[in-house]
Structure 1
Amino acid sequence: MLKRISTIKNIGTYKDCNGRQSQFEKLTLVYGRNTYGKSTLGDIFSSLNSGESTTLSARKSIPDDGTTQKVELNFLGADGKKEIKAIFNNNDWKNKLPDHLRLAVYDDAFYHKNVFLGRTLTRNTKESFSDFILGSQGVAEAENIAAKNKELKEKKSDLKKLVQSEFSKVDDLKSFIAEPVIADIDPTKEELDKKREEYALLNSQKKASKAIRERKNLFPLKVATDFSEAVTAINTVLKTGLDNPHEAAKAELNRHIEKHFVKPEGAEQWIKQGLSLLDGDNCHFCGQAITPQANELLDLYRQCFDDQFARHESFVKTTIERHQHLLGANWLEKLDSSIASASLILDSYPELSNEHEIPDTVKNIRISHEAIQGKIEQITLIVNQIIEAFTAKIDAKLANPKAEFETVEAAELDQQLNDLYNDINSLNTFYSSFNKRANEFKARFEVDQIEKDLERLAQQGKDIALKIERYEKNDACNEHISLSKSICDLEGDIPKLKESLRNEQSAFLNLYFSKINKHFNDLGSRDFKLEYKPEPLGNKPIYSFKVKFKGTGIAESDLDKIFSESDRRSLGLSIFLASLDSLEDEVLGKTIIVFDDPVTSFDENRVGQTHSKLVKLADRCQQVIILSHFKDGVANFLKVHGFSKSDIALIEIKKNAQGSYLEVGNKSAFLKSAHHLNTEELIDFVERNIDKLSCKPRVYLEEVLSLRFSKQIRKKQITNESLSKRIDALSEEKIVSQDIAKQLHDWREELNPEHHVWMDDDIENQRTTIASFLEFVFYELVPEPVGEV
């Protein structure tokens, strides 16, 4: 077992700890407050157990002065006398745990790794849980299955890569691999070369004939007329004007209505409707002939309602909008581009240069092209001038549609276009002659037999190439055959191994989980039952647990709502204890078990049950070491078990300016109550053993009253609302005399932390005050003798 921790240097709060005097026993309690280094000790044991040093290397003391980290643990040898050291130095365990001992550590790392990560189960925690509970009972088999699953995936991946890299162009891979391998490659390659030469020769003829047949013909040129039409239309609009007597007639009509109509409202509509009813020279209502004077009035009406101007304005705007965008030179650019395309087509027929008549036709076409392109340049200049002239006139016309404007001169454009039309008609005649001869030339190359021969040679070449490729890829084919066979074997083996493993582990897991449930119920979680379940995913067969609460299954996602923190921690401890129960007695007898704060609940039942289990475990194993920062828990342990067992050691982690250190603990001090310790502190202060008080005298006075008169307070149901009211109630119920009550009030006020008489007093005066206070508490504070208590 571990006898002592002789050295800890430059690790956490242990700057330079020498613990040789602090001897460990069969059951050892190590108490240390938070931040004093309890968890560091746990990490040291975990590092020794795993052999992993990262945790300790990361725990260098701050500030780091460069001192080498070092740990020395002294274990008793197999003979029980000689001490053997496990040494950590230079980031490595030079001497490890002695061979005759085993080490098991229960700490936060165990809980988060094997049970819950935070408050949830994860794939990693399930896998670690499975490995932990199975131990030697199938972990090797599970690892074998995982290795085979991994191998299966790798071989499938290798096969896929092989197919992609070596056989991506093979259509029927199965047939390709089954193809017999030729004995001699050289004659076959020579045969393939001959077929390729035949194919290339024939294919060149085919390509030439196809390219010739696909050559384009010349298309007749056309000159767009949109620009000319737009010029004509817009010039027509510019020279069109309109005299408008409409406004004068409107004014005359208004005067007529004012003079002859009693109610002018609706008069215009009535007159307008009457005009629509006139038919001939007679009145529509009375049949009499309409007089000249009446006709003059009717003419006035007609002029008033005439919409000629509106129609004219609409005509102007619509005509301009329809034609203005056509005033551009892009039609000339298209014509020039068509000529350039025609020249390229001419160049694609070099064979016709030896044909009769064609050279003259080609020459005439090229001359015509040059002439037409020259005219295009001249027309482009004229077109740009016309566009510029129209721009200003159009804006003016749109601003005043009634006015007449001079038209844009287009006679020169018309002449040039007329010449262009004639030239293009002549050119199209040349085009027609050229196309006729070109079609005759292309017709010579319609040969169907070429295609048939090429297909025959291509198939023969593929057959020969397949034989060559099969010969060259023989190694890849053999690899494919080997991988396929391995994959087939693995796919057959893995399910059988899984089934065998499940059968082997079933009985073990049933027994293991019955042990977990027993510990879990013993530790206070009585309504829960755990059952094992296989996890379906992943390479490696693993087991997790399902939970029932009062017989009802709980979804894994709801465990954090059902389990309290105490339940989760108790479950972790139960799993750990069940693993120890599963060990053979000989193995358990060699095992040193370290518990880092195994009790996290303040439930007395859980605490007591946990302590009892650890005491019983110590009788069966090599040694139990309990690390705790829970002082009351340590005190409770010593109170219940400290006197029944002589081999319990208490070691305290203490801290000074230099760092933490280990010291043999005072068991008696741990068993004293807080009130007892406060009493001793006050006495030590009066007797000058200490110069500073951590307890508050006024709070101590409250505790004295609660303890001294607890029976009376309970019987009389005296309130605990405030110290002042409690003193008054004790006096009113005649539990203390009025004089004692007055002294109590005096002490309450004098010992008040906010009272300057106490806080600001000289230390010697404070000692005198505390001496008088204790004299009052121990000798004068007595119950009132009169009255029922």
Structure 2
Amino acid sequence: MLERIQKIENVGNYSRALAGRLPLGRVSVIYGENRNGKSTLCDILYSLSINDPQLVLDRKSVVQGQEPDAINPQIELKFSDRQQAIKFRNSEWDSQLSEESNLYIFDHGFIHRNVMAGTKYSRENSTNFSGFILGESIAAFDALEVRNQQLRIDRQTLSKHKEELEGHEIGDFTAFVELPAPAKTLDELDADIQASKQAQEQIATQITNITQITQRSNLNCLSNDVSIAAILEEINNCLALSMVNVHNASKAIVAEHKNKVNKKELFNGWAASGVEHVDEDCPFCGQELGADAQELIESYRTAFDDTFQKFVRNTKVEVTRLRAKALVDVNLERLTEKHEQNVTTLETYFEDTIKEKLNELDYEATLAQRFESVTEAFKALIDEAVTTNNAIVTALAEKYDAPYNFINSISFDDLQSNIDAFNGAIQSYTDAIKPVNSLLTEFKAGQNVADLRERKRLEAASEANITLSRKRLNLDAVCNQYNNLKVQINVDKASYDAEKEALELAQEAFLNTYFVTINELFNRIGSTDFDISRKVNRGGTRTVYDLEVKFKRKLVDNSKLHCLFSESDRRALALCIFLAKIERLPDEDKAKAILVMDDPVTSFDSERISSILRILHALEPSIKQIIITTHYKGMASAVMRKFVDVNALKIYQDETGSKFGETTKAEMTATPHDERYSEIMDFVKRRTQENHIGKLRLFIEDEMRQRYKLPLSNLSLTARDTFSQCIDALRDGNYMDADTAHSLHDFRTTLNETGHELAEWSFEDSRTYAEGMMEFIYKKL
């Protein structure tokens, strides 16, 4: 067992702690306030247990005025089964524990490694948890993992072979590597490839010829029918315009005025008799012909003049527009060009089959004759169009000079007759090309390239296969490497899977009893609504076991465990995992076990303290040593009461750093502050119906003074300084952040109310307030 902590120097707060005169017993308790060095001591022992010097070096003391490299941590630990102390010097342990002793460390690091890091449960937790519960049998998994790593390396090599082969454009990879090596040589395969290419070129030429035939044009029509009906109507309408149109416009104006006059009965009489009635009265409306009436008559005259001028102007515009229009818009050159294109198109069909059919029906001569008729009809049309156009020009010129004169309409019968003859010739030509186009379309449709294309496709496939065979022969060595390695991987994977399954089955019985023990312990310390189990996780490089938690028979997702577990439950579950491991040890291994437990239970969980001490008391006879470190005097005194012979030490700080000293049961006995704590927690946990709201004010002030004892001393503040003064001084001196100071002031001012005012609070409001204050003290203060 660990007999003495002889020296800790330059580690954490231990500048030079010598404790060789303070023996440790089979059951030892070490009391120390937070930040005095309990966790550092546990890290030292954990570093020794796994032989990891870095854990000590990470806690190297910070000494003002010295470079880190100049600081040399030194530790000396004396164990009962060794004559010489185990020493940490020159950044390493000089020796290890004997085979008769094994250290098991439970501390905050154990919780983070094996249960939950902060608020997250991760695969790393599962890995550490699996390694802890399986102990030495994890070595078998490690050996399997070495083989698994080799499998991964082999798979990577296999992938590289595959990438190399696929770089040669081999198509279906699996089919390629499974091809047998060709019997022909590379030269022979090259000759076959060239022969296949030549065959494809010959077929392609044949396909091209047929494609050209199918893309040839058919014959085109010459033009649309000629029509002059619209323009003839426009010309005759224009010639028919005369003064009647002007008179009609004037009448419309007079009629409109008539509807507006005062003496309508006089108007019609004047209109019948003329202007002989013109006197002093207006013959139109009966008004006196004063100056205003004379002005009105002048406006009538002006309106008639405007109508006439507008008529003349519009008529001339219309004549000008009609002069610009062509009577017949047909171009013989364009007609000839289209006919010649049709002749040329016929000449492109030189194949015998179609040429014979065209010659039999003499279509070329027929088209020539039909086009000759078109030409003759065109000439006759143009001659008549010239004659008619001259008549139109003369009539329009006369109309332009005297727009108000009516001119007789022009007869277009002769011209229309020639147009009809021309349109008939065009239609006759169109009728002639229709059967020609039918023959041409039938001929092109008969040109089937499907057979040729299929032959070319088969020949191209043959070339691809020969090319693939050539690549297979050229890459034969790589293919053999790939195939041989793939076979080896399959064999190794099958062997790995079989051994892994056997190992997991062998562990199953152990794990079943292990988790039964965890649940029994967890229930014994008060967590009755939980059921802890595990599930296999094969997601990573090694098979591990995840914690699986049910609360009131409902499965809880691991990502929500931090919401489910209180700080006390989390620590209690970790302790049960730890103690289940110890309980499941064989008897000979238990006899070698040295348990080191740092704050195995939260300080405000008095019920769990007694439950855990009962478990440890039952376990104590079968193990070598129990060492408990705690920052809670109630825990220390409870250990000293529970066990008959307890060695008690304390860690304290002086001006040089942390030191070890002796302590007694009397020193660890609960103080009035501890009693107030118990009463408040009984109230919070609903173990009492007595309202302890009046005890909160003094308790939170005492907690603040205890936790900030050294800073208060540095600030020369004593018990005579008020609570408020201490809070402000700690905040201003940067010993306390502003949020914490603000919360303390809030509790102080609220609890400073008179007892009468606090008594008006409801019972549940008081309990809730007390619970919030205790959570603040032990999680944020």
Shorter-chain TM-score: what band? 0.5 to 0.7
Aligned CA distance change for structure 1 residues 109 and 460 (closer, same or farther; 3 Å): same
What aligned pairs does 1:273-292 form with structure 2 within 5 A after superposition?
A: 278=253, 283=258, 288=268
Task: Confirm or deny: 8 A CA contact 1:6 1:20 kept in the other structure.
Answer: yes
Which residue of the partner structure matches residue 651 of structure 2?
A: 653
Which residue of the partner structure matches residue 605 of structure 1?
A: 607
Which residue of the partner structure matches residue 102 of structure 2?
A: 102
Structure 2 unaligned spans of 5+ = 213-248, 272-282, 285-293, 311-448, 677-690, 698-717, 723-781
The offset of 1:30, in angstroms, is 1.5
Which residue of the partner structure matches residue 86 of structure 2?
A: 86
Letter in 2 for 1:70: P
Instruction: Measure, in 2, the Cα distance between the counterparts of 1:72 and 1:721.
Output: 45
Which residue of the partner structure matches residue 395 of structure 1?
A: none
Partner secondary structure for residue 136 of structure 1: helix
Deviations 1:195-242 (A, max 9, x none): 7699799999x99xx9xx99xxxxxxxxxxxxxxxxxxxxxxxxxxxx
Instruction: Measure, in 2, the Cα distance between the counterparts of 1:276 and 1:634.
Output: 130
Instruction: Measure, in 1, the Cα distance between the counterparts of 2:251 and 2:492.
Output: 103
Task: Confirm or deny: 8 A CA contact 1:74 1:83 kept in the other structure.
Answer: no
> Following superposition, which runs of at least 4 residues in structure 1 exceed 6 angstroms of deviation?
193-204, 279-282, 284-287, 289-295, 299-305, 450-461, 717-723
Letter in 2 for 1:95: S
Letter in 2 for 1:133: I
The offset of 1:619, in angstroms, is 2.0
Letter in 2 for 1:159: L
Task: Confirm or deny: 8 A CA contact 1:148 1:494 kept in the other structure.
Answer: yes
Deviations 1:737-776 (A, max 9, x none): xxxxxxxxxxxxxx99479xxxxxxxxxxxxxxxxxxxxx
Taking structure 1 as the reference length, the TM-score comes to 0.52
Which residue of the partner structure matches residue 37 of structure 1?
A: 37
User: Is 1:69 matched with 2:72?
Assistant: yes
Instruction: Measure, in 1, the Cα distance between the counterparts of 2:719 and 2:23.
Output: 45
Instruction: Measure, in 2, the Cα distance between the counterparts of 1:537 and 1:301.
Output: 104
Partner secondary structure for residue 659 of structure 2: strand
Task: Confirm or deny: 8 A CA contact 2:9 2:75 kept in the other structure.
Answer: no
Letter in 1 for 2:73: K
Task: Confirm or deny: 8 A CA contact 2:633 2:670 kept in the other structure.
Answer: no
The offset of 1:74, in angstroms, is 3.4
Which residue of the partner structure matches residue 126 of structure 1?
A: 126
Instruction: Measure, in 2, the Cα distance between the counterparts of 1:611 and 1:468.
Output: 80
Which residue of the partner structure matches residue 639 of structure 1?
A: 641
Which residue of the partner structure matches residue 161 of structure 1?
A: 160
Instruction: Measure, in 2, the Cα distance between the counterparts of 1:600 and 1:129.
Output: 22
The offset of 1:117, in angstroms, is 1.7
What aligned pairs does 1:247-326 form with structure 2 within 5 A after superposition?
A: 278=253, 283=258, 288=268, 296-298=298-300
The offset of 1:605, in angstroms, is 1.9
Task: Confirm or deny: 8 A CA contact 1:77 1:84 kept in the other structure.
Answer: no
Instruction: Measure, in 1, the Cα distance between the counterparts of 2:528 and 2:41.
Output: 33
Aligned CA distance change for structure 1 residues 4 and 275 (closer, same or farther; 3 Å): farther
Deviations 1:166-190 (A, max 9, x none): 23411233443344436795xx348
Which residue of the partner structure matches residue 47 of structure 2?
A: 47
Letter in 2 for 1:30: I
Which residue of the partner structure matches residue 585 of structure 1?
A: 587
Partner secondary structure for residue 538 of structure 1: coil
Partner secondary structure for residue 22 of structure 1: strand
Which residue of the partner structure matches residue 26 of structure 1?
A: 26
Which residue of the partner structure matches residue 518 of structure 1?
A: 520
Deviations 1:285-322 (A, max 9, x none): 868487897674357679999xx9xxxxxxxxxxxxxx
Partner secondary structure for residue 171 of structure 1: coil
Instruction: Measure, in 1, the Cα distance between the counterparts of 2:63 and 2:161.
Output: 57
Aligned CA distance change for structure 1 residues 299 and 524 (closer, same or farther; 3 Å): farther
Instruction: Measure, in 1, the Cα distance between the counterparts of 2:514 and 2:25.
Output: 30
User: Is 1:4 matched with 2:4?
Assistant: yes
Overall identity of the aligned pairs, in %? 27
Task: Confirm or deny: 8 A CA contact 1:3 1:76 kept in the other structure.
Answer: yes
What aligned pairs does 1:569-718 form with structure 2 within 5 A after superposition?
A: 569-641=571-643, 644-645=644-645, 648-671=646-669, 673=671
The offset of 1:144, in angstroms, is 5.3
Task: Confirm or deny: 8 A CA contact 2:200 2:459 kept in the other structure.
Answer: no
Letter in 2 for 1:177: V
The offset of 1:509, in angstroms, is 1.7
Letter in 1 for 2:54: T
The offset of 1:719, in angstroms, is 12
Which residue of the partner structure matches residue 487 of structure 2?
A: 485
Partner secondary structure for residue 98 of structure 1: coil
Partner secondary structure for residue 547 of structure 1: strand
Partner secondary structure for residue 21 of structure 2: coil
Aligned CA distance change for structure 1 residues 721 and 546 (closer, same or farther; 3 Å): closer
Partner secondary structure for residue 19 of structure 1: strand
Aligned length: 479
Partner secondary structure for residue 104 of structure 1: strand
The RMSD of aligned alpha carbons is 4.8
Task: Confirm or deny: 8 A CA contact 1:9 1:68 kept in the other structure.
Answer: no
Deviations 1:308-351 (A, max 9, x none): 9xxxxxxxxxxxxxxxxxxxxxxxxxxxxxxxxxxxxxxxxxxx
Instruction: Measure, in 1, the Cα distance between the counterparts of 2:196 and 2:552.
Output: 88
Which residue of the partner structure matches residue 508 of structure 1?
A: 510
Instruction: Measure, in 1, the Cα distance between the counterparts of 2:49 and 2:176.
Output: 57
Instruction: Measure, in 2, the Cα distance between the counterparts of 1:53 and 1:69.
Output: 12
Instruction: Measure, in 1, the Cα distance between the counterparts of 2:655 and 2:493.
Output: 65
Task: Confirm or deny: 8 A CA contact 1:639 1:671 kept in the other structure.
Answer: no
Which residue of the partner structure matches residue 565 of structure 1?
A: 567
Partner secondary structure for residue 3 of structure 1: strand
Instruction: Measure, in 2, the Cα distance between the counterparts of 1:2 and 1:77.
Output: 6
Deviations 1:434-473 (A, max 9, x none): xxxxxxxxxxxxxx9x999999998787666544433332
Aligned CA distance change for structure 1 residues 491 and 302 (closer, same or farther; 3 Å): farther
Aligned CA distance change for structure 1 residues 50 and 606 (closer, same or farther; 3 Å): same
Structure 1 unaligned spans of 5+ = 215-273, 309-447, 678-698, 700-716, 724-750, 756-789
User: Is 1:530 matched with 2:529?
Assistant: no
Instruction: Measure, in 2, the Cα distance between the counterparts of 1:110 and 1:27.
Output: 21
The offset of 1:281, in angstroms, is 10
Task: Confirm or deny: 8 A CA contact 1:26 1:624 kept in the other structure.
Answer: yes
Instruction: Measure, in 2, the Cα distance between the counterparts of 1:604 and 1:149.
Output: 48
Aligned CA distance change for structure 1 residues 452 and 661 (closer, same or farther; 3 Å): same
Partner secondary structure for residue 95 of structure 1: coil
Task: Confirm or deny: 8 A CA contact 1:70 1:87 kept in the other structure.
Answer: no
Instruction: Measure, in 1, the Cα distance between the counterparts of 2:173 and 2:106.
Output: 57
Aligned CA distance change for structure 1 residues 556 and 35 (closer, same or farther; 3 Å): closer
Task: Confirm or deny: 8 A CA contact 2:104 2:593 kept in the other structure.
Answer: yes
Partner secondary structure for residue 483 of structure 1: helix
User: Is 1:172 matched with 2:175?
Assistant: no
Partner secondary structure for residue 573 of structure 1: helix
Aligned CA distance change for structure 1 residues 461 and 582 (closer, same or farther; 3 Å): same
The offset of 1:25, in angstroms, is 1.5
Aligned CA distance change for structure 1 residues 515 and 280 (closer, same or farther; 3 Å): same
The offset of 1:512, in angstroms, is 0.6
Instruction: Measure, in 1, the Cα distance between the counterparts of 2:22 and 2:85.
Output: 16
Letter in 2 for 1:69: N
